[in-house]
Amino acid sequence: MELRRDWTLALDVDAVLRGQGADPAVIRARRPALLALAERALAAGLPQLAPATLSRRVVVQEFSHERLVLAGGAALTGPLVARQLAGAGEVFVCLLTIGPALEQWSSAAFATDPGYALALDGLANAAVTALTEAVCACLAAQVAAEGLRTTIALSPGLEGWPVDVGQPQLFALLEATQVGVVLTPEALMLPRKSGSFVMGIGPAVDRAGEPCDYCSQRATCRHRSQASGITSQKPHGA
């Protein structure tokens, strides 16, 4: 199990705006006040980020009947797991968070300065997306050096893997307290600006598509144009 806290996230004002579901070009042309709020949130909010990730590489022992049995006896189950992880000899299981500070600050600001609070929330969303992308790229590079590939990252809450099924399965494989994340009885992660996912590993696993293809909100989601990230309690609702 690998714990990392040394992530540097590349975030700018456009990322903050996209994190709010806005088109940066439109905001720059028509809404200078919102642009100023995003700039303010970026400058003040960056020091509040505390990115941390926990990942584990686990051998697949058996696959049958929409059930992926892992070393040690734990299992991942469901139609999405069956489709996307079939053929994987191993999996990466990952948990990530940006910490509670920015989320708490945004909530506190909402009563007196809702525009600024939304900009802070946009920064938090952008940070989770950037952290997810960084982790996925790092893990993919790690196995590429071994001549292996990874699947796309799959999060509980995508179609075919319900939150109340997938989250307990992933948390059973990780010591989530190492990154300060807890799972509530309702399968909600706290801090909310956290994410979890699994990636299959193998010499010929399928990398087709992206996580958004399996989201029930894909037809209407305003975040889709920016999303390759796997965020649990942002647009996908996982």
Q: Does a structural domain hold residue 72? A: yes
Cα torsion through 126, 128, 131, 137, rounded to 10: -90
Give the strand pairing for 67-70 and 52-64.
antiparallel
The ranges of the chain with pLDDT < 50 are: 215-220, 223-229, 231-232, 234-238
Q: Does a structural domain hold residue 236? A: no
The model carries a pTM of 0.86
The pLDDT of residue 208 is 58
Q: Does a structural domain hold residue 237? A: no
Q: Does a structural domain hold residue 140? A: yes
160: domain range?
2-226
Q: Of 190, 195, 214, which Cα lies nearest the Cα of 85?
A: 214
* Number of domains within the chain: 1
pLDDT in tens, 112-171: 999 999 999 999 999 999 999 999 999 999 999 999 999 999 999 998 899 999 999 999
Give the strand pairing for 149-150 and 90-97.
unpaired
Q: What are residue 62's DSSP bridge partners?
A: 69
The pLDDT of residue 228 is 43
Q: Does a structural domain hold residue 201? A: yes
Q: Of 208, 191, 97, which Cα lies nearest the Cα of 154?
A: 208
Residue 145 sits in a domain of what CATH number? Answer: 3.40.109.40
Contacts of 133 (CB under 8 A, 6+ apart): 228, 229
